[in-house]
Amino acid sequence: MCFSSHIQITPERACRVLDGKVVIITGGARGMGAATARRCANAGARVVITDVLVEEGTATAKELDARFIAHDVTSQDEWAAVVAQTLEEYGRVEGLVNNAGIASLASIEEQSPEEFQQVLQVNLVGTFLGLKAVAGAMRAAGGGAIVNLSSVAGLFALPMTGGYGASKWGVRGLTKIAALEFGRDRIRVNSVHPGMIVTPMTQSFGAVSGEGTFGLSPVGRWGEAEEVAEAIAFLLSDAASYVNGAELAIDGGWTAGEGSLLPPPRPPEGA
């Protein structure tokens, strides 16, 4: 099948859509970052995993024949080191997944200013620093693709997510600004907005896999990290060559009803 004069997607290429691309994935030690690293490696990418969790990150990288770099996304110096080491080893950077993030659940009145600022530092400032750090290298590579992890909490208001929601609305906006600023350099920037996904982050407050586990989503269940990873791999790939500044909800349809809590009516029996 041919999508344009210069991009050919054959069945053989379909599963190696990132063949040879050098992709940095932050927070890749576990959860959605690790699932994304696995999907990208399977698609042929050379993967650089970064995380503050050194033991888990090293183990994940070893399993995938990837590179691990200890990295706190809130540090501009550490970002510079990640890009420098990636260039030293692979010679270029063509993909970045700003995935590292922390959660917090508290009402505005209960949340301390320190916690609010910490969530913004990791989720939003970390993403900003990532955009700054890779732009030059991607420009030098002739272009690239960046995927930022926002959330459904960046698409509609969820109570008890003052810091988290503010950070994810910020990531959504920053993504569009970066898409405008970087587009001419053939660097595409998009955001993904996962719903409730089973990962270590959410398992700590009761996430479970399987049918009937999450009634607010029309599909009635929590999502799996691999289902998000698949969408991220698409956005990183040349198959998404005209997708820029977009926001992709991966939530089983939860936000399609703009957060409505009402399930769709079922037709009466026998109708």
Note the residues at the interface with ligand NAD (CB under 6 A).
26-27, 29-33, 51-53, 71-74, 99-102, 122, 149, 151, 194, 196-197, 199-202
Shortest Å, Cβ 139 to ligand NAD? 24
* Closer residue to ligand NAD (CB): 141 or 231: 231
Residue at token pair 């993403």: 127
Three-class DSSP labels, 203-250: HCCCCCCCECCCCCCCCCECEEHHHHHHHHHHHHCHHHCCCCCCEEEE
Instruction: Please give the single-letter amino acid code of residue 122.
Output: V
* Closer residue to ligand NAD (CB): 141 or 191: 191
90 is catalytic: no
d(CA 149, CA 128): 12
Burial class (CB in 10 A: 0-12, 13-18, 19+), 10: exposed
Which two tokens mark 229? 């990873």
Shortest Å, Cβ 100 to ligand NAD? 3
Which two tokens mark 253? 């349809």
Shortest Å, Cβ 60 to ligand NAD? 9
* Closer residue to ligand NAD (CB): 82 or 141: 82
What are the residues whose beta carbons fall under 8 Å from the beta carbon of 192, sequence distance 6 or more? 147, 148, 149, 150, 228, 231, 232, 235, 247, 248, 250
The active-site residue out of 68, 79, 116, 164 is 164
Shortest Å, Cβ 112 to ligand NAD? 18
Active-site residues, by number, are 164
